[in-house]
Amino acid sequence: MKKTLFTAVCLLSCLLLRGRTIAVFGDSYVANHRAPKEETWHAKWAVRHGYEYQNVGRNGGCVAFDRTRERFGPAMTVRYAQLSPEADIVLIIAGHNDADKCGCNKDSLRMFRDSLAVVIDRIRLQCPRARVGYVTPWAVDRPGFEGIHRAILKVCRKKKVPVLDNFRKDCPVHVLDAEFRRRYFQAPQDKAHLNAAGHNLYLPYAERWMDTWVTKE
């Protein structure tokens, strides 16, 4: 009886959610580098929960820095206009390339903070009914990543944007572990791009976080 009731509730939830759209906006964590976008955890989340899926990822993209001359396109302060105005959820996944650009430069970090605040404000104007969430980069051990991480938490706290913090110890992605990268990243030296197995590993962790704010009324 309990199993039947649980199944009925799940089916009802899927029916209620059908027709809604999640737009995922960011860099190669979104575009999935050289692998199909359908393999990403967020694409699989959308399928599992009955959402239409818009992937607005750009390899090499930054929140704050225009990389058009490098063939990586404009900053997200401009690219936000590609988001569907009908989106119900906008998930921002970005900051890895900004971290490499900023390093430990305080002015560059300030530019990132200011740009992120602009991106969030513009998303809310572009997608007025959307709930906005943020997924941080992995905890990479290069200059700039800790500063970008702190900036993301600060801006999102001020803007009341929920954050999936991949610097937490319970994050299942162990980016500094060479054996882990060999199994779950697109290349052994890669510290950004999960492979299909990596996305599958990360999905339950991300899904639990999504459930805390997507379904919250």
Q: How far apart are CA 171 and CA 167, in angstroms?
A: 7
CA nearest 14: which of 55, 45, 54, 56?
A: 45
Which pLDDT score is estimated for 48?
95
What is the reported pTM? 0.89
Pseudo-torsion of CA 27, 30, 36, 40, nearest 10°?
150
DSSP state of 31: H
Name residues whose C-beta falls within 8 Å of residue 30's C-beta, 6 or more positions apart in sequence: 24, 37, 40, 42, 55, 56, 57, 58, 93, 94
pLDDT of residue 2: 47
Give me the tens of pLDDT residue by residue for the chain, a chain 217 residues long. Answer: 545 544 444 555 554 545 899 999 999 999 999 999 999 999 999 999 999 999 999 999 999 999 999 899 999 999 999 999 999 999 999 999 999 999 989 999 999 999 999 999 999 999 999 999 999 999 999 999 999 999 999 999 999 999 999 999 999 999 999 999 999 999 999 999 999 999 999 999 999 999 998 766 4
What CATH number is given for 18-208 in this structure? 3.40.50.1110
Distance CA 147, CA 143 (A): 8
Q: What is the model's pLDDT at position 4?
A: 53
Find the DSSP H helices in 90-177.
Answer: 96-102, 106-126, 145-159
pLDDT at 154 (0 to 100) = 98
